[in-house]
């Protein structure tokens, strides 16, 4: 059973490190872009006015810096199995990369919603998000997802109809749940339930030296079914991944902070600069 647990841990570490709530940030096989940007002098954002939380005009661009820390040897599971510290330590990673998003000005219909297309060069550019606004709700859909499965094989699966309501422009305390169901290359299904809540609204948040007004903070907690299937082996241990998102009106996502303490995973993404047209 110990060998089975190790195999499961490797898979679950990969699952837990993936974040896709807003359709813009995703972990898979990132390039080693280590570009850094010097923060500008502190100032208030005075860009284009779109009156929504996800501009979609053609040519609009966003540049993000994301730091991914996988400190497995110091994680909860590493503490549960201290005799295997070297095994978990082999997975430790601290990587910072820069990637770019662009609004393409293209539309397409998925279900009853009309989505706007975006390019994303994170992970070699194979991931192309779509985002739609429906009243006060913002919905994301992914075209391609990738995941490394046990045994070293590579599995990819389509999420063309897999949508998630990741943001609602509603009062503090508003909450909702959404579910994604994905099928891997081997036909297996994984169901993840996301619980969202509006933690703050109408606040100002400083990111990379810029004060962004009219910010909404959304908290998301999630637990893939691939993790719950091992709950019997890890009784009493919290497996939930928690992510704080900050969206600025007229700009979009300005910051994301993900924590999965069980695996020793943290991901912090910040907006370096944007050009909203």
Domains of the chain by residue range: 2-275
Count of CB atoms within 10 A of residue 95's CB?
14
Coil, helix or strand at residue 156: strand
Question: Cα–Cα distance between 53 and 254 in angstroms, integer?
Answer: 10
**CB contact set of 102 (below 8 Å; sequence gap of 6+):** 59, 60, 61, 62, 118, 119
Give the DSSP letter of residue 234: G
Averaged pLDDT score across all residues of the chain: 77
Q: Tokens 């695996």 appear where?
A: 263
Question: Cα–Cα distance between 223 and 209 in angstroms, integer?
Answer: 34
Q: What is the pLDDT of residue 195?
A: 94
Lowest mean pLDDT among 55-59, 121-125, 141-145: 141-145
Q: What is the pLDDT of residue 142?
A: 64
Q: What is the pLDDT of residue 182?
A: 67
Structure tokens belonging to residue 14: 């990969």
Coil, helix or strand at residue 74: helix
Which has the closest alpha carbon to 43: 202, 201, 208, 200? 208
Q: What is the pLDDT of residue 149?
A: 34
User: Is the pLDDT assigned to residue 21 strictly greater than 50?
Assistant: no
More confident site: 68 or 182 = 68
User: Is the pLDDT assigned to residue 3 strictly greater than 50?
Assistant: no
Quick one: pLDDT band at residue 273, thresholds 50, 70, 90?
A: very high
Q: What is the pLDDT of residue 33?
A: 43
8 Å CB contact between 273 and 254: no
| Topology at the third CATH level for domain 2-275 | YmcC-like fold (2.40.360)
Structure tokens belonging to residue 51: 């009156």
More confident site: 255 or 109 = 255
CA-to-CA separations, 189 to 152, 180, 182, 240, in angstroms, rounded: 19, 10, 6, 19
């Amino acid at each position: 059973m110990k060998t089975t647990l190790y195999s499961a841990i490797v898979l679950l570490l990969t699952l837990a490190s993936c974040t896709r709530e807003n359709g813009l940030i995703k972990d898979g096989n990132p390039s080693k872009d280590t570009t850094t940007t010097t923060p500008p002098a502190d100032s208030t954002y005075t860009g284009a006015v779109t009156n929504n939380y996800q501009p979609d005009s053609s040519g609009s661009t966003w540049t993000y810096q994301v730091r991914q820390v996988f400190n497995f040897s110091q994680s909860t599971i590493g503490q549960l199995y201290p005799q295997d510290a070297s095994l978990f330590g082999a997975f430790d990673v601290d990587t910072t990369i820069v990637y770019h998003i662009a609004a393409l000005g293209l539309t397409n219909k998925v279900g009853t919603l009309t989505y706007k297309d975006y390019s994303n060069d994170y992970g070699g550019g194979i991931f192309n998000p779509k985002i739609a606004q429906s009243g006060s709700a913002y919905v994301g859909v992914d075209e391609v997802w990738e995941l490394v499965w046990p045994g070293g094989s590579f599995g990819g699966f389509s999420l063309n109809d897999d949508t998630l309501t990741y943001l609602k422009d509603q009062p503090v305390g508003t909450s909702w749940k959404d579910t994604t169901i994905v099928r891997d290359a081997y036909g297996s299904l994984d169901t993840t339930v996301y619980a969202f809540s509006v933690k703050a609204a109408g606040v100002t948040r400083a990111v990379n030296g810029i004060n962004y007004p009219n910010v909404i903070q959304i908290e998301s907690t999630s637990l893939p079914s691939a993790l719950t299937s091992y709950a019997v082996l890890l009784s009493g241990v919290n497996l939930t991944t928690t992510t704080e998102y900050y969206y600025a009106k007229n700009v979009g996502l300005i910051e994301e902070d993900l924590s999965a303490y069980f695996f020793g995973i943290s991901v912090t993404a910040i907006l370096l600069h944007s050009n909203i047209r």
